[in-house]
A and B are shown apart, each in its own frame.
Chain A
C-alpha cells in the first residue's frame, strides 16, 4: 500500500463516494463479486490452476464456505485519510506512529510492520523486455497469535499483509 500519489482531500472524497457505491461504475467484472478474504485464500490456488483452462471470464466457485467460520474479523475503524472506509491504519507514514498496526481485531499476538523501498527487475517473458523499476514504501506486515473468529471462538493463526 502506498498513499503518496493521492492528495489527502482526494482520499476522503473518494472514500465517502466509495461507501455509497462499491464497484467500478458502468462495468461488471468477475472480481467485483463480494467474497471474503478467507474464501479468496482458500480458492485462489485452485483458481490459479483453473484459470488457464477456464479463461478470463471464470467465476469463483463456492468451494470454501465451510471455512468461513474461522475467518478473523477486521479492526472496526480505519484511517481518517480514507474516510474510515477501509479497515487499516498506516502508522508512521499516514497516521501517527502509535496508531493500530494490526488489521485483525480480537487479536492477541505478535505483530510486525514495515514500509520498504528498493529496486525490482521486471521481465516480460513474451517480448524479452527487461526493466529496472523502484518499489516504494511497500507496506508489509505480519500478525501471528490468537484471534476470535467470526464464529466467536478462539483460533490460532498467522497472517501476512501484502
Chain B
C-alpha cells in the first residue's frame, strides 16, 4: 500500500511484507488458499486476506535502499476484485529480460478496499467501488521449469 500526502505529495507510508533488504522473494507472502478465487471464463478474480503482517517503510526508496527510518511493524487486511474483459491475450514471452513465461491473460480492471494498523495509526480505505486501477490483468501462466 502506497499512501501519499494529498496532492499527491510525498509518499508517507509504504506497507509491504518484506524484511530489508528485499533481495529474495519480492514483497510476496503466503496466504490461505481460499483467499484467492479466479474465474477466467467471466474475467473475475478476488484476492482477500486478513491481518497480513507488514512493515511501514514510509516510502519506496527506504523500502528498497534503506537510509531512512527503521520500519514499523503492523498488519493489513484487503479485498481486491478484478472484473471485466477488455482484452484476451495469449502471451509467450521469450525475451531474455522480461520473459521466460507463457500463459493466457485477460486485461481488465480492479478495485480494492483495505484496512491497516501500524503503531498508533489505523487506516481504513473508502469503499471498494471508489477505487480504480491504471492497469490490471488476470490469467494463468507457467514459467521457469514449467516453461516452455
Contact = CB atoms under 8 A, between A and B. Distances in A.
A140 B135 contact: no
Contacts of A101: 137, 139, 141
Contacts of A77: 97-98, 100
Interface in A101-133: 101-127, 132-133
Interface residues of A, number: 102
B27 A162 contact: yes
Interface in A68-119: 71-78, 80, 82, 85-89, 91-93, 95-119
Contacts of B31: 158-160
Among A15, A86, A114, the one with the most B-chain Cβ atoms within 10 Å of its Cβ is A114
Contacts of B136: 112-116
Q: Which 5 A-B pairs have the closest CB atoms?
A: A44-B53, A118-B131, A114-B110, A92-B135, A106-B144
Contact of A144 (B33, B65, B98): B33
B24 A36 contact: yes
Interface of A: 1-3, 5-6, 14-15, 17-18, 22-25, 29, 31-38, 40-41, 44-45, 47-48, 51, 71-78, 80, 82, 85-89, 91-93, 95-127, 132-145, 148, 156-162
Q: In terms of DSSP, what is the predominant structure of the interface of chain B?
A: strand
A71 B25 contact: yes
Contact of B1 (A44, A125, A138, A158): A138
Contacts of A124: 120-121
Nearest to A35: B19
Given A88-B27, A137-B2, 9 more contacts: A5-B60, A74-B24, A104-B25, A108-B143, A123-B122, A124-B121, A141-B47, A144-B38, A162-B27
B3 A22 contact: no
30 contacts: A1-B2, A1-B16, A2-B60, A5-B10, A6-B60, A14-B65, A29-B20, A86-B64, A87-B24, A101-B137, A103-B28, A108-B142, A110-B140, A111-B137, A112-B38, A112-B110, A112-B136, A112-B138, A113-B138, A115-B133, A118-B125, A118-B126, A121-B124, A133-B3, A142-B36, A157-B33, A160-B47, A160-B49, A162-B27, A162-B76
